[in-house]
Amino acid sequence: MSRLFLGLDSSTQSLSAVVIDYDSRKVVYNDSLNFDEALPHYNTRNGVLPNANPLIKHSPPLMWAEALDLVFAHMKKNGVALGKILAISGSGQQHGSVYLKANAAEVFSRLDPKTNLVKNLAGVFSRPTAPIWMDSSTSKECAEIRRALGGVKAAAELTGSDIFERFSGPQIRKFHKTEPARYQKTASIALVSSFMASLLAGKIAPIDHCDGSGMNLMDIRKKNWDAKAIKATAPGLKQKLPPLAAPWAVVGPVSSYFVKKYGLNPEAQTLVWSGDNPCSVIGLGLIDEHTAAISLGTSDTYFGSMSRCCVDTRGEGHVFSSPTGDYMTLICFKNGSLARERVRDEHHLDWNRFNRAITSTSPGNGGAIMLPWFEAEIVPRVNTPGIHRIDLDATDIAANCRAVVEAQMMSMRLHSQWMKAAPKRIRATGGASDNVAILQIMADVTGCPVCRVEVAKSAALGAALRAAHGWLKKSGAAADWKRVIAGFTEPVSAKEIKPNAKAHRVYDRLVEKYAKCERDNLPSRA
């Protein structure tokens, strides 16, 4: 028996499709469509429309719809057994919002398979473009909402996060203020995830708890739209928001449009879609609070899970609902590979010599500390870039190489303590996750064994696994998450990098000095 499930990921730059054979525990199809390359007539750059204001980042929703047609056409052409797919779910770039007129529900229900989605959707958008997660033009609106909710701590306690520019709530407020006529014509506000699910299901889809918690509009504990947050955002907003739903909720069978046009199984179920971060949590296998993931990219990101909701009252970290029904956490550190590369390049090293420099020094670096804020930092909040060296000679190449990595790992350890859920194991992902010297410091600082996992299309894989989980749950079958992800999210190598107990004791002491150095050098607290 082969039970097939499809996961789609509508990211900033592409739409990806992953089909899994649940019974053989294999990915049987994996493909991506790049928006700029496949759909050049939208004139996007890296999936984003150019704008004279660098703070404004919008994308055209019609582009995502057209991409959905193309991805299904590719799957049909490539011989994917679309008629055997039992359920579909998806991932959408988190925080992006789509604005629909009152006729959208009827249009979705009557999609004509004799034409394409672009023509079907003519006239349904009250706003032709969608602000996405990269948009940071809403600082004024954030301040207004934050003030109405009682400040950073109150906002975080209520919604799981401080009020952030890229979140949907401030974007909606700005739209109401700057384009009131279009706001009035808006009957329904979707996220990227729920918009794509609506196309698949042929009806207005709900917003799942996970993606909804990235809007600054949902009560993170009660998992419902919060009246105070809605009032602080825009008038008449409650009527424009679709209902919230559990992340395993079934929207309904797939639209006849996809059945007739591409041969999908008419009984295939559309599961609610979610955000890319929650879907990646599943794709990375983070289903309990004892496992965390650290993504070592341009920015470094710490993902964790919590069974009990704790929020960061300083407003630095985020808490979202998790697809498991628990909670997930996310902390983003801007100076990730950016900082490591700056230190490497300053000393004219390649990565091999950078690593040899690290291993030539001792854990703890003799007490030498670096605060590597080459760019304005998100966590901790540092608005003015600056490199601070404490008991560290700027000319000591080896010590500086170790110091930048130690600082990053100690910062993660320090700024994740509010979660009250210390991990027992860590999965490393991203470009630097194959760097053993860096991973050894990660293991020593955290005291956790570290293994490397593959991140390519983790959101699409997570969506496919969510489809399987939701279908099993609806069918009354066992839907245990450990069983669902087994065989799909294992580390690239069984070899773990284990922490050195002596080194870990050194960092237990050094992290206190690091914390003091941070406090002493934060401009906002000076």
156, 420, 422: which is closest to 312 by C-alpha?
Answer: 156
At 524 the pLDDT is 53
Q: Mean pLDDT score of the chain, rounded to an integer?
A: 95
Between CA 291 and CA 308 the distance in angstroms is 15
Residue 270, token pair as written in the block: 């559309």
Q: What is the pLDDT of residues 427-484, one digit of tens each?
A: 998 888 889 999 999 999 999 999 988 766 789 999 999 999 999 999 998 899 999 9
Q: Please say if the pLDDT value at position 178 is more than 70.
A: yes
Between CA 302 and CA 413 the distance in angstroms is 10
Q: What is the pLDDT of residues 358-408, one digit of tens each?
A: 999 999 999 999 999 999 898 998 988 999 999 999 999 999 999 999 999
371 SS3 class: strand
Q: What percent of the chain has pLDDT over 90?
A: 90
**Partners of 291 in the β-ladder:** 425
Between CA 95 and CA 164 the distance in angstroms is 10
Q: What is the pLDDT of residues 202-239, one digit of tens each?
A: 999 999 999 999 999 999 999 999 999 999 999 999 99
507 SS3 class: helix
Q: Please say if the pLDDT value at position 75 is more than 90.
A: yes
Between CA 198 and CA 192 the distance in angstroms is 10
At 421 the pLDDT is 83
Between CA 511 and CA 507 the distance in angstroms is 6
At 526 the pLDDT is 35
146, 151, 297, 169: which is closest to 225 by C-alpha?
Answer: 169
**Cα dihedral sign, 272-273-277-281:** positive
Structural contact between residues 208 and 193, judged by C-beta atoms closer than 8 angstroms:
yes
303, 250, 283: which is closest to 464 by C-alpha?
Answer: 283
Q: What is the pLDDT of residues 21-36, one digit of tens each?
A: 999 999 999 999 999 9
385, 413, 443: which is closest to 512 by C-alpha?
Answer: 413
At 456 the pLDDT is 62
Query: Rounded to an integer, what is the distance from CA 477 to the centroid of its chain?
Result: 29
Rg (CA), the chain: 23
CA distances from 285 to 282, 290, 349 (A): 5, 11, 35
Q: What is the pLDDT of residues 140-166, one digit of tens each?
A: 999 999 999 999 999 999 999 999 998
Q: What is the pLDDT of residues 95-129, one digit of tens each?
A: 999 999 999 999 999 999 999 999 999 999 999 99
Q: Please say if the pLDDT value at position 304 is more than 90.
A: no
Query: What DSSP state is assigned to residue 233?
Result: H
Place of tokens 């590719």: 74
The Cα angle at residue 20 between residues 433 and 78, in degrees rounded to 5: 105
Segment holding 303, helix H or strand E:
strand 300-306
At 525 the pLDDT is 43
Between CA 281 and CA 278 the distance in angstroms is 5
Between CA 291 and CA 289 the distance in angstroms is 5
Q: What is the pLDDT of residues 334-352, one digit of tens each?
A: 999 989 999 999 999 999 9
Q: What is the pLDDT of residues 258-293, one digit of tens each?
A: 999 999 999 999 999 999 999 999 999 999 888 999
Structural contact between residues 412 and 514, judged by C-beta atoms closer than 8 angstroms:
no
What is the amino acid identity at position 242?
A: P
CA distances from 425 to 28, 329, 437, 452 (A): 29, 16, 18, 11
374, 287, 389, 293: which is closest to 332 by C-alpha?
Answer: 293
At 181 the pLDDT is 98
Give the count of beta carbons closer than 10 Å to the beta carbon of residue 157.
Answer: 18
299, 329, 335: which is closest to 431 by C-alpha?
Answer: 299
297, 273, 379, 290: which is closest to 330 by C-alpha?
Answer: 379
- Domains within the chain, CATH numbers bracketed: 4-279 (3.30.420.40), 286-452+496-526 (3.30.420.40)
What is the amino acid identity at position 293?
A: A
Structural contact between residues 153 and 313, judged by C-beta atoms closer than 8 angstroms:
yes
At 457 the pLDDT is 76
What is the amino acid identity at position 9?
A: D
Whole-structure pTM value: 0.91
72, 158, 52: which is closest to 116 by C-alpha?
Answer: 72
284 SS3 class: coil
Between CA 263 and CA 76 the distance in angstroms is 8
274 SS3 class: strand
In terms of phi and psi (left: phi > 0; alpha: psi -120 to 50; beta: otherwise), the region of 79 is left
Structural contact between residues 173 and 145, judged by C-beta atoms closer than 8 angstroms:
yes
Segment holding 292, helix H or strand E:
strand 291-296
